[in-house]
């Protein structure tokens, strides 16, 4: 066999797997509620593709081929495990239309149900994002574990436990009814944003893993938006992530040193991403239901404006933070508000806002200490500033951030 054919086929399989993974897992598990078996069946199908496609050529509809193969293998898995889980009706259901499916080129997209299952209130909050990354995107437990700073074995066990709960705990594969939708959707959005947040923090310049996880989160948000096009917060989420992602190239200088937002060169920002973000944010506002992610995106849009105007409209940032504080008074929001207030009313006003935050709550919240140190330094309180810098440096994980703060501390 010609090697380049093999490589080309492998690339095709990778692409199809990436694009179709979630659709296939969702479709294969929607009746059985058995994610683990669906994933196993799909892996089998991907292996089969690797064996057959280079010889027989890539089928005209690769996704349908994978689905048919995975489905056969799922029936085998279910037969094999029937003592544990076989519900005869499910088996019948799977077999009943397997001939139709062989011919079918299209099948329903059940990913929305899968996203809601992953972020179900009965599932441990900390597992929402890992479950999504695994079942919708097919990311393996080892990579998820590294992103979440958990041992691979532990992450594997937690994923298995969560899937068992989904299978046995009566968690329905369904899109929530209208009255539950906003709250349930929040959980899905939060889980996607958590993946992005990890990628954002975990940016040791050269680390590819960080960047890829950000891309995966954006991909998930795009899927969600495609499935729920009229949800303002989904538009807001995608806008927020795109604004941030646009700044990625500017966050390090040529020597890999950390560059804070205020010192970034807007020419290095990726303008197509900013334009796309503006589009989504405008769509979101048209829907007339303001929410946390739209406000966070709006704050980033003000920062993005600097590329055009050369200055940051801090009054606007402050106003958006004031709105955000009313609906989502998190530590991040309160710290960000203090930064904005310091810019508009002076460092003393910013520091007062920080003083109002309970010290216990921020004992390991790095941004608080970095902002505090910066404001104390501006006020000429160098001993206190130096202490706060130490806390910020000690809590930082990224060596580039540590180095930046060490230099500022002096």
Partner 1 sequence: MQFALLIYESPEAFATRKSDGTDPYTSAWRAYHKALVESGVFVAGDPLEVPETGTTIRIRERQRGVQDGPYADTKEQLGGFTILELPSLDAALEWAARCPAASLGAVEVRALAPDIKRRII
Does 228 help bind partner 1 (rule: CB under 8 A)? Answer: no
Return the residue of 84, 149, 160, 361 that touches partner 1, per CB under 8 A: 149
Q: Which is nearer to partner 1, 285 or 365 (CB)?
A: 365
Q: Does 403 bind partner 1 (CB under 8 A)?
A: yes
Binding piece for partner 1, criterion CB under 8 A, among 17-25, 51-59, 325-333, 382-390: 382-390
| Least distance (Å) between residue 148 CB and partner 1 | 9
In the bound state with partner 1, the residue whose beta carbon lies nearer, of 65 and 200, is 200
Distance CA 366, CA 264 (A): 21
In the bound state with partner 1, the residue whose beta carbon lies nearer, of 168 and 364, is: 364
Q: Is 200 in the site for partner 1 (CB under 8 A)?
A: no
Binders of partner 1 in range 276-335 (CB under 8 A):
none
3-state SS, the chain, equals CCHHHHHHHHHHHHHHHHHHHHHHHHHHHCCCCCHHHHHHHHHHHHHHHHHHHHHHCCCCCHHHHHHHHHHHHHHHHHHHCHHHHCCHHHHHHHHHCHHHHHHCCCCCCCHHHHHHHHCCCCCCHHHHHHHHHHHCCCCCHHHHHHHHCCCHHHHHHHHHHHHHHHHHCCCCCCCCCCCCHHHHHHHHHHHHHHHHHHHHHCCCCCCHHHHHHHHHHHHHHHHHHHHCCCCHHHHHHHHHHHHHHHCHHHCECCCCCECCHHHCCHHHCCHHHHHHHHHHHHHHHHCCCCCHHHHHHHHHHHHHHHHHHCCCCHHHHHHHHHHHHHHCCCHHHHHHHHHHHHHHHCHHHHHHHHHCCCCHHHCCCHHHHHHHHHHHHHCCCHHHHHHHHHHHHHHCCCHHHHHHHHHHHC
Distance from chain centroid for Cα 28: 23
Q: Work out which of 6, 48, 75, 204 binds partner 1, going by CB under 8 A.
A: 204
Nearest to partner 1 of 217, 362 (CB atom):
362
Strand partners, 394: none
Rounded to a whole number of angstroms, the minimum distance from the CB of residue 402 to partner 1 is 5
Give the residue with the Cβ less far from partner 1, 297 or 401: 401
Q: Which of 253, 343, 384, 387 binds partner 1 (CB under 8 A)?
A: 387
CB of 123 to partner 1, least distance (A): 17
Contact with partner 1 (CB under 8 A) among 161, 364, 368, 385: 364
**Is 361 a residue that touches partner 1 (CB under 8 A)?**
no
Span interacting with partner 1, options 73-81, 145-153, 187-195, 224-232, rule CB under 8 A: 145-153
Nearer Cβ to partner 1 (154/262): 154
Nearer to partner 1, 115 or 405 (CB): 405
- Of 284 and 396, nearer to partner 1 (C-beta) is 396
Give yes or no for residue 271 binding partner 1 (CB under 8 A): no
Taking the complex as a whole, how short is the minimal distance between the CB of residue 156 and partner 1, in angstroms?
A: 15
Q: In this chain, which of 86, 150, 175, 287 binds partner 1, going by CB under 8 A?
A: 150
Per the CB < 8 A criterion, the answer to whether 277 and 294 are in contact is: no
Contact between 224 and 188 (Cβ < 8 Å):
yes
Q: Does 384 bind partner 1 (CB under 8 A)?
A: no
The alpha carbon dihedral of 250, 337, 191, 201 has a sign of positive
Chain length of the chain: 410
Q: Is 256 in the site for partner 1 (CB under 8 A)?
A: no
For partner 1, the closer of residues 304 and 388 by Cβ is: 388
133 vs 220 by CB, closer to partner 1? 133
Q: Give yes or no for residue 128 binding partner 1 (CB under 8 A).
A: no
Distance CA 118, CA 185 (A): 11
For residues 203 and 242, what is the distance between their CA atoms, to the nearest angstrom? 16
Find the binder of partner 1 among 109, 343, 352, 390 (CB under 8 A).
390
Q: Using an 8 Å Cβ cutoff, are 124 and 148 in contact?
A: no
Q: How far is the CB of 78 from partner 1 (least distance, A)?
A: 35
**Binding partner 1 by CB under 8 A: which of 363, 377, 378, 384?**
363
Interaction site with partner 1 (CB under 8 A): 149-151, 154, 204, 363-364, 387, 389-397, 399, 402-403, 406
């Amino acid at each position: 066999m010609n090697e380049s054919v093999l490589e080309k086929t492998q690339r095709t399989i990778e692409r199809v797997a990436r694009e179709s993974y979630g659709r296939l897992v969702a479709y294969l598990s929607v009746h059985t509620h058995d994610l683990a078996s669906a994933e196993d069946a799909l892996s089998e199908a991907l292996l089969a593709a690797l064996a057959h496609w280079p010889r027989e050529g890539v089928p005209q509809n690769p996704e349908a081929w994978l689905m048919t193969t995975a489905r056969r293998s799922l029936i085998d898995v279910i037969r094999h495990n029937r003592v544990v889980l076989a519900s005869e009706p499910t088996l019948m259901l799977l077999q009943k239309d397997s001939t139709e499916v062989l011919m079918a080129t299209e099948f329903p997209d059940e990913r929305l149900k899968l996203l809601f299952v992953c972020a179900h209130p009965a599932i441990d909050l900390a597992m929402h994002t890992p479950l999504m990354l695994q079942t919708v995107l097919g990311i393996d437990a080892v990579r998820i574990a590294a992103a979440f700073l958990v041992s691979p074995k532990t992450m594997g066990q937690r994923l298995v436990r969560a899937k068992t709960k989904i299978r046995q705990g009566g968690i329905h594969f369904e899109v929530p009814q209208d009255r539950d939708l906003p709250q349930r959707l929040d959980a899905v959005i939060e889980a996607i944003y958590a993946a992005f947040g990890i990628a954002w923090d975990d940016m040791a310049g050269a680390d590819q893993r960080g960047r890829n996880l950000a891309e995966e989160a954006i991909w998930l948000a795009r899927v969600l938006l495609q499935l729920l096009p009229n949800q303002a917060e989904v538009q807001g989420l995608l806008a927020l992530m795109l604004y941030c992602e646009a700044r990625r190239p500017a966050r390090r200088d040529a020597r890999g040193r950390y560059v804070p937002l205020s010192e970034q060169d807007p020419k290095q920002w990726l303008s197509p991403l900013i334009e796309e973000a503006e589009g989504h944010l405008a769509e979101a506002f048209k829907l007339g239901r303001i929410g946390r992610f739209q406000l966070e995106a709006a704050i980033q849009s003000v920062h993005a404006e600097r590329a055009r105007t050369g200055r940051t409209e801090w009054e606007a940032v402050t106003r958006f933070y004031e709105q955000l504080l009313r609906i989502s008074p998190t530590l991040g929001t309160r710290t960000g508000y203090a930064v904005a207030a310091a810019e508009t009313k002076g460092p003393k006003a910013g520091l007062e806002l920080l003083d109002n935050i309970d010290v216990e709550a921020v004992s390991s919240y790095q941004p608080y200490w970095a902002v505090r140190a910066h404001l104390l330094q501006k006020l000429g309180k160098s001993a206190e500033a130096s202490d706060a810098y130490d806390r910020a440096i000690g809590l930082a994980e990224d060596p580039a951030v540590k180095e930046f703060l060490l230099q500022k501390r002096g």
